[in-house]
Amino acid sequence: MKLDEKAIKWIIREKEKGTPTKEIAEIENITPRRVNQIYKQYKDTGEIPKPKKPGRPKKELSEEEIEAIKEAYEEYRCNAVVLQTILKERGYRISKNKIHEVLRMNGYAKEEKNKKKRKKWIRYERKHSMELWHADWFFYNGKWIIAYLDDASRLITGYGVFDKATSENAIKVLKEAMDDYGRPESILTDRGTQFYASAGEKKAKGVSKFEKFLAENEIKHIVGRVNHPQTNGKIERFYGTLEAKIKYFDTVDEFMEWYNHKRPHMSLNLDELETPYKAFLRKLTPERILSYSWRWFDGGK
């Protein structure tokens, strides 16, 4: 039990009064030996012993450790949680707080003054790659970006940058993604007009060009609930990553290469530093693997 200054003063007073050491120890829930140590220190120095600060002494990072953190961040552009695993693979055992401190001191991360405790939540994801793709548009730096994200692996299977967000452009990118990876079983979108033809007070529900393309290719269209953006949360988080990290890359192509093939994803197998592309391969069904085999033997994807 940790003793504060008030408890130490009381122990000394009781010893001066002649209270038995065993009785004092029982009241303070410490050993008689500890009582005698405190009293002896007081008699030897004439001063009230100061309580020890809780926890281990603070250990400063070496220059080598600081440089290792900076080099790992420059290479991966990840947060402290992911960097801790990367550094462990390289032989450095450094706490997440220490890593974050170095990132903050070097302008790589912001100070989290009002960090809130995360709510408990359950993550739902498909078991296999290609079961479900998320799709959404994102406006950034004067351009519209569309991306298709595989639910099980977080792999970006297709993307494009356009002046306008249209059904035609959404279909164009989807066709390119299907040429690379095949036909997904289903696609989840919001109710944006590029994806979905809404019904109105005076009009019946129509069919958008995007919906028609999915139907023709036997792809199930899953539409998010009204005013419930969390339904498509995985791609929303991806766009958050894009907005935060794109400044480190010269082009969107370079960012996508980093996201798919370089950066370990926290929602995947972090112990193995798994990237979305590695997870995509791991989570493929045997049937899908067979369908891709001709590409791999051909030197393709």
Q: What is the pLDDT of residues 20-49, one digit of tens each?
A: 998 888 888 889 998 999 999 988 888 888
| pLDDT tens digits for range 221-244 | 998 766 555 567 899 999 999 999
Give the containing element (helix H, strand E) for 145: strand 143-150
* Contacts of 99 by beta carbon, 8 Å cutoff, 6+ apart: 69, 80, 83, 84, 87
Query: Which pLDDT belongs to residue 298?
Result: 57
* Domain locations in the chain as residue ranges: 5-45, 63-106, 132-298
pLDDT for 147 beyond 90: yes
Q: Number of helices and strands (H, E) in the chain?
A: 12, 5
pLDDT for 118 beyond 70: no
pLDDT interval class at 108 (50, 70, 90): confident
Residue 108 CA to residue 268 CA, distance in Å, equals 23
Query: Which pLDDT belongs to residue 198?
Result: 64
Residue 111 CA to residue 104 CA, distance in Å, equals 6
Query: Which pLDDT belongs to residue 226?
Result: 61
Query: Which pLDDT belongs to residue 253?
Result: 96
Q: What is the CATH number of domain 132-298?
A: 3.30.420.10
Residue 3 CA to residue 6 CA, distance in Å, equals 8
Residue 288 CA to residue 131 CA, distance in Å, equals 11
